[in-house]
Amino acid sequence: MGRRELRDLYDPDAVSAAFRTSEVGIDPEALAGLVRDRLNDDPAIRCRLLTHVKGVERNGSGLDVEFENGAGPGRERYDQIVNALWDGRLAVDRTVGLEPPRPWMWRMKHFVRLRAPGAAVPCSTIVLGAFGDVVVYRGQDLYLSWYPAGMRDISIELEPPRWPSASEGGFSGEIRDQILDGLAAIVPAVGRLPLDADAVSVKGGVIFAWGETDIDDPDSGLHERHAIGTRSSEGYHSIDTGKLTMAPLFAQVAADRVLGMA
């Protein structure tokens, strides 16, 4: 990016160079809506909602799933199982004998969603030092992330604790302001966004990655996302997506293995 354009979009005292890339941003909330619709509409899919999977046990030629819901504990047998859990995946893997292959880390990260139709904000990813993202979906919905403010908790347990959301903990306003201030120091247009209370929300989610130290360590395993994929053992398949963009490929791998063993 030329110097004049860089100065128009970013604070030149904070940004020495900017590069255009062909990266495409997919709105995860819109994607989740499509997945929910498919789960609801496909007669071949039976959904068990509000159900906690506690573990899997091999029983002869089958696999028994132990679970608990509002009706109490239960158990059902399946020929094959695909573990596509997120923060519960490692704990269920262990019940069937699959141990984590290396150290891991859970992180609780918050972000801002903001609706601002027509906002002239450049999609940006800050990749050096304390980092963040500005993503614009359909010209009106923004995703704003500033790691030093949004990353609140770390766990190296097999299963992370139930971390409170920003609304539960009462710190949504604090996180919102810190994220906006951190990004505005680099992308000045963020500081000019309208902050209509009805259009701003602070949300959060758990990040899983292999590694022992945080993102500011150049040698952290968190920077290595290539050793991922689908692990299979006698009809049990566990999917480690690494990044959301890899999920379709590994889902296809798991499906092929299921069909090959059927």
The pLDDT score that the predictor gives to residue 262 is: 57
Report the DSSP pairing between strands 236-240 and 81-83. Answer: parallel
Residue 221: CB atoms within 10 A of its CB come to 17
Arithmetic mean of pLDDT, 14-37: 92
Beta-carbon-side half-sphere exposure of residue 135 (alpha carbons within 13 Å): 15
The pLDDT score that the predictor gives to residue 74 is: 95
Query: Where are the chain's structural domains?
Result: 3-26+104-210, 48-100+232-261
More confident residue, 247 or 23: 247
The pLDDT score that the predictor gives to residue 118 is: 85
Domain 48-100+232-261 is classified in which CATH homologous superfamily? FAD/NAD(P)-binding domain (3.50.50.60)
Chain-wide mean pLDDT for the chain?
Answer: 92
Arithmetic mean of pLDDT, 229-252: 93
Give the whole-angstrom CA distance, residue 138 versus residue 225: 28
Are the C-beta atoms of 123 and 101 separated by less than 8 Å? no
Instruction: Indicate yes or no: pTM above 0.75.
Output: yes
Arithmetic mean of pLDDT, 3-13: 95
The pLDDT score that the predictor gives to residue 221 is: 84
Beta-carbon-side half-sphere exposure of residue 127 (alpha carbons within 13 Å): 9
The pLDDT score that the predictor gives to residue 224 is: 79
User: Contacts from 66-72 at CB under 8 Å and sequence distance 24+?
Assistant: none
The pLDDT score that the predictor gives to residue 234 is: 92
Give the whole-angstrom CA distance, residue 133 versus residue 143: 7
pLDDT band at 157 (very low <50, low <70, confident <90, very high): very high
79-131 pLDDT, tens digit each: 999 999 999 999 999 999 999 999 999 999 999 999 998 888 999 999 887 68
The pLDDT score that the predictor gives to residue 60 is: 85
The Cα angle at residue 122 between residues 116 and 126, in degrees rounded to 5: 115
49-79 pLDDT, tens digit each: 999 999 999 988 899 999 999 999 999 999 9
Percent above pLDDT 90 for the chain? 78
Q: State the CATH architecture for 3-26+104-210.
A: 2-Layer Sandwich (3.30)
User: Contacts from 223-230 at CB under 8 Å and sequence distance 24+?
Assistant: 229/253, 230/254, 230/257
